[in-house]
Structures are given as structure tokens and as C-alpha cells.
């Protein structure tokens, strides 16, 4: 039987994956794990479908890409035999002929557990029902003496209905002590408040602390703002990571009479016009960089819109590009 832990350190790797760059994304996992190890962390967490990059769209339907993601995960799993931190990382995963949006738990040189996304979004920019199979509801994962629930993104977002299972309730009933939620949640004005209210509702229902890890970066027309956070069971903010930039932050949780609690760093987060501008800058930078373009060409009329576009381009790429 695993000994009960009284301290638990989680490294949040709020990073910028590139869709299709399996090797590059795996390299980012290794770098994050090295930081986590230096911090003495038990676990390092990466965002939804990180190995593939998010959203991978039809790329995940290609068998060669599925195999590349699996091979990268298996290699990362073998590397955890060194006694360092365990890893929770998102990846597409084929099981019994079905393709899932999965989060794999890597520890002691092996794939120790796999959790599948149950509630697949099918609205707005999301069409996951088209490419992924619905996973089964599962209980928590035992990580270094702590039972960690791993609902994936949409599994925390909507109330229970005929279409949606209450995954958080299932995890609470099966003994979860902390909820760790990997996300690929794109930016929109006011989105941070919506995420917080959704998470507050899940903490209130379950009585469990919650770690919300979001990716950062631009992908086509979407921008992911990061702005990851954690809530204690009493709804106080345990930590807040910055928005629109990569961040690797280790949170140290302690078991108290009422459960797990953390007092981590709280960064200030941009909102309204400043956040919109930061999203434009990040989106342009990644669109140019991830597509390998040398720079951009601007036709400037002298109007306010041209001036704004020029300012965004300079802030994103530098004046020389």
C-alpha cells in the first residue's frame, strides 16, 4: 500500500507547443521535467494534447502521426526510470481501434496510467466529436501517495446533462484529493472570469482543490493565453500564472486538517484592451514563426489602423522583420 504523503509539489509547465512538431514538443517536456527535478517536484503537468500540439485537427487521424506521438510518449516514459518527477502529459492515444484525447501518467520508467477525455466539445471552434472517441469515466491516479483526479478540459466545463457526465463528481466519489485539469482553452475577452467561475463551481461541488493548467501560444486563428491558476478548497486563489507567456512554476501543497492547501505566487493578469493587444502580438508572432516565414510585409496608408498594425508587427517580430 502506498504511504500517505503530507507534502506534494506540482510543477505547472505552461508552455507553447507547435502542432505537428512531436519531437520539439517532447523536448519541451524534457526541459520542463528538468526544471521540476531541480525544484524537487513530485509531478510535472503539461497541457491538453501537448505532444501533438493543440488543436491538431485532422492531423490526429493519420496513423503515422498517431504512431509518432505514441513513440514519443513511450520514450519519455522510459526516461522517468531515473527517479525524477512523474509526468502528466496530453497526447492522442489509440486503444482497441479507437482514438482518444488522452492524458498519460509517466513514472518509474513506464506508462503507469492513462485517462481519457469523456466530454468532447462540439461547438464554436471545437469539433472533437468528429475525430475522438468518448472516453470512459475513471477514478483518480495514485501519484506519490496522493490520489489525483485528472478531468481533461471540457470534463469540468458544463453541468451534467444527457450529453455530459459529471466527471468531477465521479472523481470526488472515488477518492480524489486534488483535481489537476489540463486545458487547451483559447483566449477571448472576459474568458479568464468564465474559467474562474467554472472552476469555482467544481471546487464548491467537490470540496477539492483544483489546478487549472492552460497552454499558451498561437495556432492559426486561435490564441491560447495560458493564465493558469490553482484554487484551494476554500475557494481562495492558491496561485496565478502570467498570461501570454510561457511559465514553469512549482506549487508546494501541504496536507492540513481540511485537505490539501497551497500558497503559491500570484501574478497580475492583463485584461480588456491590454489583453486583446497581447493576444494579437502573440498570435502574429506564432503564425509567422511556426510557419517559418522570414517576416511580414506591411502596406501602410498612414491611418490609425495602419499604425496599429505596424505597432503589433514590431512588438511581435521586431522592426527588422
Catalytic residues: 48, 117, 153
Q: Which residues pair with 113 in a beta bridge?
A: 105
Query: Omega into 214 within 30° of 0, i.e. cis?
Result: no
- Our measurement of the distance from residue 62's CA atom to the centroid of its chain's CA atoms, rounded to an integer in Å, reads 23
| Pairing assessment for the beta strands 210-214 and 216-219 based on DSSP bridges | unpaired
For the record, the C-alpha cell of 264 comes out as 503559491
253 in Cβ contact with 8 (< 8 Å): yes
Backbone dihedral region for residue 32 (phi beyond 0: left; psi -120 to 50: alpha; all else: beta) = alpha
Between the alpha carbon of residue 298 and those of residues 242, 281, 314, the distances in Å are: 30, 15, 11
Instruction: Return the C-alpha cell found at 195.
Output: 474559467
Can you list the alpha helix ranges (DSSP code H) found in 39-116?
Answer: 63-79
d(CA 7, CA 2): 14
C-alpha span between 276 and 297 (Å, rounded):
22
In angstroms, the CA 244 to CA 284 distance is 12
Q: Helices 63-79 and 22-38 sit at what angle, rounded to 10 degrees?
A: 20
Distance CA 47, CA 226 (A): 10
Give the alpha-carbon dihedral of 89, 131, 279, 227, to 10 degrees.
Answer: -30
**267, 240 contact by CB (below 8 A):** yes
Mark out the alpha helices in 163-268 (DSSP H runs): 167-173, 191-206
Amino acid at each position: 500500500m502506498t504511504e500517505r504523503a503530507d507534502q506534494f509539489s506540482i510543477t505547472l509547465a505552461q508552455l507553447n507547443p507547435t502542432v505537428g512538431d512531436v519531437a520539439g514538443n517532447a523536448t519541451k517536456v524534457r526541459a520542463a521535467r528538468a526544471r521540476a527535478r531541480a525544484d524537487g517536484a513530485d509531478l510535472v503537468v503539461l497541457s491538453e494534447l501537448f505532444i501533438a500540439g493543440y488543436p491538431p485537427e485532422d492531423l490526429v487521424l493519420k496513423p503515422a502521426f498517431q504512431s509518432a506521438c505514441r513513440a514519443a510518449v513511450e520514450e519519455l516514459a522510459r526516461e522517468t526510470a531515473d527517479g525524477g518527477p512523474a509526468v502528466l502529459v496530453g497526447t492522442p492515444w489509440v486503444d482497441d481501434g479507437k482514438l482518444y484525447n488522452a492524458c498519460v501518467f509517466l513514472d518509474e520508467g513506464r506508462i503507469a496510467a492513462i485517462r481519457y477525455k469523456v466530454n468532447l466539445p462540439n461547438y464554436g471552434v471545437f469539433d472533437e466529436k468528429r475525430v475522438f472517441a468518448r472516453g470512459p469515466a475513471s477514478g483518480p491516479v495514485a501519484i506519490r501517495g496522493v490520489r489525483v483526479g485528472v478531468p481533461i478540459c471540457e470534463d469540468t466545463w458544463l453541468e451534467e446533462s444527457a450529453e455530459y457526465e459529471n466527471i468531477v463528481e465521479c472523481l470526488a466519489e472515488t477518492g480524489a484529493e486534488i483535481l489537476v485539469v489540463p486545458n487547451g482553452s483559447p483566449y477571448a475577452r472576459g474568458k479568464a472570469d468564465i474559467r474562474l467561475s467554472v472552476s469555482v463551481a467544481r471546487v464548491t461541488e467537490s470540496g477539492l482543490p483544483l489546478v487549472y493548467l492552460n497552454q499558451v501560444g498561437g495556432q492559426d486563428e486561435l490564441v491560447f493565453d495560458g493564465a493558469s491558476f490553482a484554487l484551494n478548497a476554500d475557494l481562495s486563489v492558491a496561485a496565478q500564472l502570467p498570461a501570454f507567456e510561457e511559465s514553469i512554476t512549482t506549487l508546494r501543497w501541504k496536507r492540513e486538517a481540511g485537505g490539501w492547501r497551497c500558497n503559491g505566487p500570484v501574478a497580475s493578469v492583463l485584461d480588456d484592451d491590454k489583453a486583446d493587444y497581447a493576444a494579437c502580438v502573440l498570435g502574429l508572432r506564432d503564425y509567422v514563426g511556426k510557419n517559418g516565414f522570414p517576416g511580414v510585409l506591411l502596406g501602410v496608408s498612414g491611418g490609425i489602423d495602419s499604425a496599429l498594425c505596424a505597432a503589433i508587427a514590431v512588438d511581435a517580430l521586431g522592426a527588422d522583420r
